Amino acid sequence: MARWSSRFGFLLATVGAAVGLGNIWRFSAVVGTNGGGAYLLPYLFAVFVLAVPLLVLELAVGRTLRTDVVSAFRAVGERYAVLGIAVVAGVVLVVSYYLVLTGWVLAFLLGALAGVERSFTALTAGWEPIVTFLVVTVLSGATVSLGVSDGIERLAKLVMPTVFLILLGLAVYVVTLPGWFPAVSFLFTPEFDVLADPRLWSAAFGQAFFSLSVGMGIMLTYGSYLDEGTDLLRSSVIVAAADVAVALVSGVVIFPIVFSYGFEPTLGTELAFVTLPAAFAAMPFGRVVAVAFFGLLFFAALTSVVSMVEVAVATLTSATSWDRPRATAVLTAGLCVLGLPSALSYSPVDLALGGRPVLDIVDESVGTFGLPISAVLIVAVFAWRWGETAPRRELGALWPLVRYVTPLVLLTATAMKAVGLARPAWRLLLDHARNGSSSALVGGLFGGAGLLPLLAVLLIGGAVTSVLGVVLWSRGILTTKRRQREGQ
Ligand code: PHE
């Protein structure tokens, strides 16, 4: 059975899974569009009160059952196996487009290294993003293939300290910029009157769960490689604190740059791919800063991709007789195919369904609705149906939070998004890239019903779940293990 080689290694790998594009790019976009400091209060509340208990739950389930997501669901009841498959399907779909975004980051990094300046539109007009998407997919597959401690943990040990160092270096550099002071006051001045706006809370909750990577079985899988002695609550608080710290410092880096070069902080997700490259082009040592920034973003994203790939590989190896390298190879090939429609939707092919780029459809449906639904499934099965007391012991007085408060808040926030009261932040970049106007961007922020994406998630999720279910079933996961147990 695979294990982390040390607690520190586990912490770095888990922080690596949590810290990703979400902290650096999405966080700044969400803060900017939600009026700066006002947003921090609900965000911190959501991270520490709602998401941390779920993180502890997932780690405790993983460590107690020492198995992959689908087998863990099946351990509670044979009939829950299909819910486990749905959770894994959600992760597979999220990683299929997260790989495309990471490919864009790699393309910008290579561009900065080579000294080529390109706009987002110019970049996606060529084939390079498709190539970088494939490169990232193979790279993450290769890492996972090496194993838990030799691949995932080693990557995190190599890359996460680099991420922290680059971030600190950039944070020191931006103090020299004229926009530093206004930016920092924008970021940290709480405006209490906007706290009455439920959309702010909904945005903060979505961001907190996304940013910590909870609710998708990732932490369950990482918990299954953890030793008995580790304190789960303490580890979860450390991971959450690191995650929040990276997000805040990224804000402290990004906003001074935005303010100093006369850009709007409220432009949303286009910050990373449109605003910042423009600012880098204008600033002294801009190329160095661009390499540092996109390098940071790339490393952070890669460790998150790897965590998602691991969820699927762990499930595949336990479902089949395949060893890790073979399961990873099959999955990597599958992801190259599954991610292709998203990769092709911002390319010369302009792949779209009903006028919407496929990447948008997958993001709106799975990215926005898949995660909360998957989190609720985990709570429903492991906090309600599971007789085991391990999570309750780990959480102590915080147990009611994960049993009642977190699922209630998730359901409410998801329902609000479904009726179109709130919109995800990734969308803004994509809307902007299409319409080329920032008013459309802001107008797009809260407009439009979300019922269609919800329907889409049920359809896409259902389709992928069925395919995965048939594959796993035909490989024996749903039958062999049952026979094994009956034979005992
Ligand atoms: N937490 C990662 C980030 O911040 C993204 C992620 C979300 C990964 C959900 C897996 C599941 O970028």
Ligand 1 centroid from CA 193, angstroms: 30
Residue whose CA is at the smallest distance from ligand 1 atom 11: 213
Helix (H, G, I), strand (E, B) or coil at 425: coil
Residue 344 has pLDDT above 90, yes or no: yes
Residue whose CA is at the smallest distance from ligand 1 atom 9: 213
pLDDT tens digits along 221-242: 999 999 999 999 999 999 999 9
Mean pLDDT of 387-396: 92
From 15, 104, 304, 371, the mutation candidate for ligand 1 (largest count of ligand atoms within 8 A of CB) is: 304
Return the pLDDT at 464. 77
Pick the closest to residue 92 from 314, 296, 299 (CA basis): 314
Mean pLDDT of 376-386: 96
Residue whose CA is at the smallest distance from ligand 1 atom 8: 213
pLDDT band at 453 (very low <50, low <70, confident <90, very high): low
Ligand 1 centroid from CA 479, angstroms: 32
Rg of the Cα trace of the chain? 21
Q: Which of 21-30, 423-432, 471-480 has the lowest mean pLDDT?
A: 423-432
Q: Which amino acid is at 233?
A: L
Residue whose CA is at the smallest distance from ligand 1 atom 4: 22
Mean pLDDT of 31-36: 78
**Which atom, in ligand 1's list, is nearest to the CA of 371?**
9
Distances (CA, A) of 488 to 60, 246, 482: 26, 49, 10
Pick the closest to residue 170 from 276, 275, 265 (CA basis): 276
Ligand 1 centroid from CA 307, angstroms: 9
Ligand 1 centroid from CA 163, angstroms: 16
Distance CA 412, CA 414 (A): 5
- Residues with CB under 6 Å of ligand 1 are 18, 20-23, 94, 210-211, 213, 216, 218, 304, 308, 371
Distance CA 448, CA 451 (A): 9
Distance CA 3, CA 12 (A): 14
Residue 447 has pLDDT above 50, yes or no: no
Longest CA pairwise span in the chain (Å): 72
Return the pLDDT at 451. 67
What are phi and psi for residue 126, nearest 5 degrees?
-105, -170
DSSP states along 324-391? HHHHHHHHHHHHHHHHHHHHHHTSTT--EETTEEHHHHHIIIIIIIIHHHHHHHHHIIIIII----HH
Return the pLDDT at 207. 87
Q: Are 345 and 360 in contact (CB under 8 A)?
A: yes
pLDDT band at 28 (very low <50, low <70, confident <90, very high): confident
**Which atom, in ligand 1's list, is nearest to the CA of 216?**
11
Distance CA 218, CA 88 (A): 9
Mean pLDDT of 327-354: 93
pLDDT band at 435 (very low <50, low <70, confident <90, very high): very low
What tokens does 276 get? 């910042």
Ligand 1 centroid from CA 438, angstroms: 26
Distance CA 351, CA 432 (A): 17
Ligand 1 centroid from CA 16, angstroms: 10
Could you tell me which residue, 368 or 406, shows the higher pLDDT? 406
Pick the closest to residue 409 from 49, 148, 89 (CA basis): 49
Q: Considering the chain, what is the average pLDDT of its residues?
A: 87
Q: Are 367 and 426 in contact (CB under 8 A)?
A: yes
- The segment with the largest mean pLDDT, out of 64-78, 118-132, 270-284, 368-382, is 64-78
Residue 434 has pLDDT above 70, yes or no: no
Return the pLDDT at 349. 87
Return the pLDDT at 112. 94
Q: Are 69 and 88 in contact (CB under 8 A)?
A: yes
Return the pLDDT at 476. 64
Ligand 1 centroid from CA 487, angstroms: 40
| Cα angle value 449/431/356 (rounded, 5°) | 65
pLDDT band at 438 (very low <50, low <70, confident <90, very high): very low
Q: Which of 126-135, 181-190, 376-385 has the lowest mean pLDDT?
A: 181-190
Return the pLDDT at 78. 94
Ligand 1 centroid from CA 389, angstroms: 28
